[in-house]
Chains A and B, each alone.
Chain A
Amino acid sequence: MTPFGRTFFLNIAKIVTYALLTVTCLVTLTPFFWMICAAFKTKEDFFACTFLPHGDGLFGIAWSQLTFENFVRIFTELDFSNSILNSFFLASTTAVLSTITAAMGGYALAKFNFKGKDFITSLVFAAIIIPTPLLIAPSYQLLYQIDLLDTYWGLLLPAVAPAFGVFLFRQAMLNSVSTNLLESARMDGCGEIQTFFTIVLPLVRPMIGAYLLIVFLGTWNNFISPQIVLQDADKFPLSVAMSGLQTTYRSEYGMISAGTFISIAPVVFLFMLLQKEFITGLTSGAVKN
């Protein structure tokens, strides 16, 4: 036997794997860490040191030089708390409305036989590949025609017709809602709407969780629609407000960092809570087909 047996090579492979993954994590996290540091630094310290200011404190860092000044300034000089509320309102309302319409539509296409079903199903499939940029200019014209520019309705209503969501829920209903169960519910005299809410929806609960989160994140991070539709700064969500902050406070790196930190913290937190559902929902469409 050579001294370099199978275990030896497996151990090398393990060390290399852990090393590569750790380096990847470091590369991924460093910009976040740097930005959080910048949010808590004074302007002088931002230029003086890469991460945290050196000093006599714990770990050789001058903790006492850190400041909340940047956070105070974005909340006092700008209406930042208003933007946070706007983002929460838009993202959660869109998520709920879109989930309801998508689940209802997906249910109809998966579990009913009716005239025009094949046509609507292929319409949904075709609609998935319509590129969003194509709709930017005509949607603006449409919102102008129906007088919904600079209103939340102009953002909410277009987001309520998600072909992709109908497609996802159709797949989920086909997989996890049994037709026998629906038939016996109807035998028992359960009405259509009651059946949908008390029997069908609980069966696709994982999909509902994943879809709510996907739409919430998508709306929270959406920039182009609110940027085009909204004009009144009081209505701006964080994405548009931050882009404005970036232009007006060009060299206030601390303030920009603090604002970005606040803008991304809620979504990261939400994702950590619902990581499993999110990834299942995200990959379900791709892997099964």
Chain B
Amino acid sequence: MNKKGTTAPWAPFFFLAPFLVTFAVFTVYPLVLSVWLTAHQTFGPGYGRYVGFGNFLNMLADANFWIALRNTTIFALTTTAIEMPLALLLAILMNQQWLRGKIYFRLLIFSPALVGSVFVGIMSAIVFQKRTGMLNQVLHYLFNFNPDFPWLSTYLMPAMIVASIWMWTGFNMIYFLAALQNVDNDLLDAASMDGANTWQRFWHITLPSIRPVAGYVTLISLISGFQVFELPYLMLSRAGAGPENRGLTVVMYLYKSGFNIGDLGYASAIGWALALILIMLSIVYRRTLRDEQQ
């Protein structure tokens, strides 16, 4: 029996135990294991051969790895560059005081993000079909667009980008909208008293105060863009990576190396290359954040 009013010394450890145990087994240990794996070539789990830095050297000389990295970079940068301004614009439109039906607009525009990348990928595999797919039919009806436009072969990357924009713009909009709602109204009122017009208020008050959120959303968008897998994998109906590997992404290549070929070592090396890129992105983001605060 402990003294009344004091915390029991075992309590914090009791509450942390389930997290710490599973975390140690399913996150820390796999991290260690992945370092070990990078130095081995495996043939399925359990059969490994020591190769030292061989996996990394192979990776640097592997044309497919560079194709995957190039595709992924293009995908992450393009989708972020298009989604961010679009999401901000939608959030500004949604933030007008006189707007009615706000929750319905929000629900509808956000809805694609609820549908996982798997199902968006499966839908896209049909929507982007030539002739029978929705996109070409609607575009043909509206703008007399070529109904045989080959989205799923030659223009795979644009199709992936279009699908991603459709899916994630509303998701990003939610963050911008929350940030806009947190902008200090008194400050805006004071500025208009001093004769600042709408544009000046937006540029000097609104934009600086949503910058932290904008930075965060951009980082998240880039990070998830670099990890893209399900969308192209299911869009191609497992038909490989598309012509000339046009739909091959880094995680898809990791998956194929690890589970189609069975080399978990090579897959781990690809995983570390990806992790390095993502950690560098996070560091750049934190640096900019810190410099701004000083």
Interface residues of A, Cβ cutoff 8 Å to B: 14, 17, 20-21, 24-25, 27-32, 34-35, 38, 46-47, 50, 100-102, 104-105, 107-109, 112, 114, 117, 120, 127, 129-142, 144-145, 157-158, 160-161, 163, 166, 183, 186-187, 189, 192-193, 196, 217, 220-224, 228, 239, 242-243, 246-247, 250, 253, 256-257, 260, 263-264, 267-268, 271-272, 275, 279, 282-283, 286-287, 289
Contacts and interface: CB of A to CB of B under 8 A. Distances in A.
A39 to B, nearest CB: 11
24 contacts: A21-B99, A28-B111, A31-B166, A32-B111, A35-B123, A50-B141, A105-B15, A105-B19, A133-B275, A136-B267, A137-B268, A137-B271, A138-B33, A141-B33, A157-B25, A157-B26, A160-B18, A160-B26, A183-B5, A192-B14, A223-B230, A243-B122, A264-B114, A286-B217
Given A223-B116, A242-B118, A253-B132, A192 B16 contact: no
Nearest to B181: A287
B284 to A, nearest CB: 13
A24 B109 contact: yes
Contacts of A46: 132
Nearest to B268: A137
Contact of B108 (A28, A130, A246): A28
B12 A112 contact: yes
B31 A135 contact: yes
B234 interface: yes
A27 B166 contact: yes
Given A17-B99, A29-B108, A139-B26, 14 more contacts: A28-B108, A29-B111, A100-B18, A104-B16, A114-B9, A131-B227, A131-B274, A134-B272, A142-B29, A158-B22, A161-B26, A257-B126, A268-B114, A286-B178
Interface of A is mostly: helix
A133 to B, nearest CB: 5
Top 7 A-B pairs ranked by shortest CB distance? A221-B116, A161-B22, A105-B19, A144-B45, A112-B12, A138-B30, A108-B15
B34 A161 contact: no
A136 B27 CA distance: 11
B197 to A, nearest CB: 12
A135 B175 CA distance: 28
A178 to B, nearest CB: 15
Interface residues of B, number: 94
A31 B217 CA distance: 26
B112 A28 contact: yes
A84 B96 CA distance: 41
Given A104-B15, A120-B16, A286-B213, A221 B118 contact: yes
Nearest to A103: B15
Interface of B: 4-9, 11-16, 18-20, 22-23, 25-27, 29-31, 33-34, 37, 42, 45-46, 90, 93-94, 96, 98-99, 103, 105-109, 111-112, 114-119, 122-123, 125-127, 132, 134, 137-138, 141, 166, 170, 174-175, 178-179, 182, 212-213, 216-217, 223, 227, 229-230, 234, 237-238, 250-251, 254-255, 258-259, 264-265, 267-268, 271-272, 274-275, 278-279, 282
Nearest to A196: B15
Contacts of B123: 31, 35, 260
A28 B166 contact: yes
B113 to A, nearest CB: 9
A131 B254 contact: no
B147 to A, nearest CB: 11
A31 B105 CA distance: 17
Contacts of A246: 122, 125, 234, 237-238
